Amino acid sequence: MRATALFALTMTLLPSAPAQDRTQARSQVITQRGIAATSQTLASQAGAIILARGGSAVDAAIAANATLTVVEPMMNGIGGDLFAIVREPSGKLTGLNSSGPAPRALTPDALRAKGHTTVPEEGIWGVTVPGCVEGWAQLHRKYGKLPWADLFAPAIHYARHGYPVTEWIASAWQSGVPKLTNDDNARRVFLRDGLAPKVGELFRNPSLAAALELIAKQGPDAFYKGDIAKAIVKTARRHGGPLAAADLASYQAEWVEPISTDYRGWRVFELPPNSQGLAALSMLNLMERFDLPSYDPFSASAFHLKIEAQKLAYADLNRYVGEPRTSRISTAQLISKPYAAARAALINPDKAACEFDAGSPQLPSAGDTIYLSTVDSSGMVVSLIQSIYLSFGSGVVVDDYGFHLHNRGALFTLDKGHPNELAPGKRPFHTIIPGYMEKGTQHIGFGIMGGLNQAQAHAQFVSYIVDHGMNIQAAMEAPRFTKLNFSGCDVKIERRLPTNIIENLRDRGHYVQLEPSFASAMGGGQAVIHDSAHKVNYGASDPRKDGAAVPEPDAWFPKR
């Protein structure tokens, strides 16, 4: 009986049709050893090799992320922030919030004195303390098995010796040329004769190699107190910005308890504010009020209900989410089932609503990012997301070290009394979120990047698995919608949906904007599964990126 039950549970993640009849393009990666799934194949390979050398899933994630800072520089880097969820082999879940605060001198009055009515998206005044390197260090101290310095060997190699630029990344690089042109360091490091590198062109960044070598040799102190810190402060001063040595030296990441909800028998986990993870859980709570499993996954009715759930969840996200240490937000109430039931009653199954107000819980008296997931043979799963926010971040490249500072401070508001109001030493609202879900012996680390796209993409991915029986690769490839604002009936949908479905949505009042079949606006994602009953791991990678899920190689040859 037990074997039959386990087999039935495993089958929920397998294609419902024979492989030769399926609509997905790729198969899952399936192995008894570890997997690294990232948005660029060289980074996935780096993670897989670290696993083969005896590293943990955390070691693999750090090595893969460090490599991505080199090969996908517009999306992530040591000048940005990091969040992670780790499933330990025992089954325990732990979250890490490694997002940095506003500098002590970054105040609303200081910005208004310079003529700003919002925190600028470009330039030094949108820069908050970068948390990435501190996040790597905390993860390695707790879960690392290999020496710290070993994890940076792949990234240093590609920064020093070069790598051929891949397709999606080349396109994003080209789109960033105007921002790169505005900064002397950026123009010198990332452009050649004013041009972005083309597909297949070899690119080197020896300045970034020097920074990574210092971090490998000296640990995080090199970044927060040593030569890199000095270069960051020098760069900030040259631009007239507020970031100071004390802001960097005092930074520490925070271990946090993931928040979760039950979705039709699956437990789905996100990280608490200051990130947008609760919006994914809110969407799922709303979607659970409707009989989505009975719908065709690509029907107008299924898409309509999910779009309306997104609007309700994001209205609350916009109103209530900010730094929890300085706001009165009640996360537990926002993701409670009774609250979702009351909010779901506002959804008209036949008509789109162009405006939803935020709810009234009883409170107490595009971006650019990388996401990766790893799993090892012990069952450790890492769901990790890292970003410099908008493409090439603030546009400011640090003197001598070839990396951008992020512009995450641009997500603060100057509205007095808002939970996300700018204040010195406060962390801004964050779009980047790692996801995790499990049921029985199935443990899935997943994520999909892309600014405000992320929470709604998470909910759609979960629904494709839970409501429609797709495996992780099919769920990652399936058509998605996205809505990158907080009001209106506009929505972006991939054009793979049949014309009659699109017209049905328009008839319901949705202003549908068709996107390419695999659109970058929908974000790129990765996922891994650890099957704890059979000790088998699965991996999936999104075709909306240049990456792959790469398995750890087996030890085929005897040691010499």
Does residue 344 fall inside a structural domain? no
Structural domain for 262, as ranges: 1-13+26-274+369-449+524-553
| Cβ atoms of residues 278 and 272 within 8 Å | yes
Does residue 305 fall inside a structural domain? no
Which tens digits make up the pLDDT trace of 387-397?
Answer: 999 999 999 99
Mapped onto helix, strand or coil, the DSSP state of residue 465 is helix
Asked if the model's pLDDT at residue 160 lies above 50, the reply is yes
* Averaged pLDDT, 276-304: 96
The lowest-confidence range among 13-22, 83-92, 102-111, 171-180 is: 13-22
Does residue 503 fall inside a structural domain? no
CA distance 488 to 485: 8
215-218 long-range contacts, CB within 8 A, separation 24+:
215/78, 215/133, 215/152, 216/148, 216/149, 216/151, 216/152, 216/153, 216/156, 217/149
At residue 367, the pLDDT reads 56
Look up the CATH number of the domain holding residue 117. Answer: 3.60.20.40
* Averaged pLDDT, 442-465: 96
At residue 320, the pLDDT reads 77
Cα separations in angstroms, 47 against 37, 55, 552: 8, 9, 8
Does residue 269 fall inside a structural domain? yes
At residue 357, the pLDDT reads 62
Q: Which residue has the tokens 């900010």?
A: 322
Cα separations in angstroms, 401 against 9, 396, 459: 50, 12, 38
Which tens digits make up the pLDDT trace of 18-77?
Answer: 555 677 899 999 999 999 999 999 999 999 999 999 999 999 999 999 999 999 999 999
* Averaged pLDDT, 134-148: 98
* Averaged pLDDT, 439-468: 96
At residue 361, the pLDDT reads 45
The reply to whether 499 belongs to the active site is no
At residue 11, the pLDDT reads 37
Mapped onto helix, strand or coil, the DSSP state of residue 236 is helix
CA distance 76 to 161: 20
Does residue 345 fall inside a structural domain? no
Which tens digits make up the pLDDT trace of 303-362?
Answer: 999 999 999 999 888 877 766 665 556 788 889 999 999 999 999 999 999 876 654 444
At residue 365, the pLDDT reads 28
Average pLDDT, the chain: 92
Does residue 121 fall inside a structural domain? yes
At residue 187, the pLDDT reads 97
Question: Which one from 38, 235, 369, 482 is the annotated catalytic residue?
Answer: 369
Does residue 295 fall inside a structural domain? no
Q: Give 532 or 14, the one with higher predicted confidence.
A: 532
Does residue 302 fall inside a structural domain? no
| Cβ atoms of residues 411 and 431 within 8 Å | yes
Asked if the model's pLDDT at residue 152 lies above 80, the reply is yes
Confidence tier at 364 by pLDDT (50, 70, 90): very low
The number of folded domains in the chain is 1
Q: Give 38 or 363, the one with higher predicted confidence.
A: 38
At residue 319, the pLDDT reads 75
Asked if the model's pLDDT at residue 404 lies above 90, the reply is yes
DSSP alpha helix (H) spans, 103-182: 108-113, 132-143, 153-161, 167-175, 177-181
Which tens digits make up the pLDDT trace of 223-269?
Answer: 999 999 999 999 999 999 999 999 999 999 999 999 999 999 999 99
pTM of the predicted model as reported, rounded to 2 decimal places: 0.93
At residue 324, the pLDDT reads 66
Q: What percent of the chain has pLDDT over 70?
A: 92
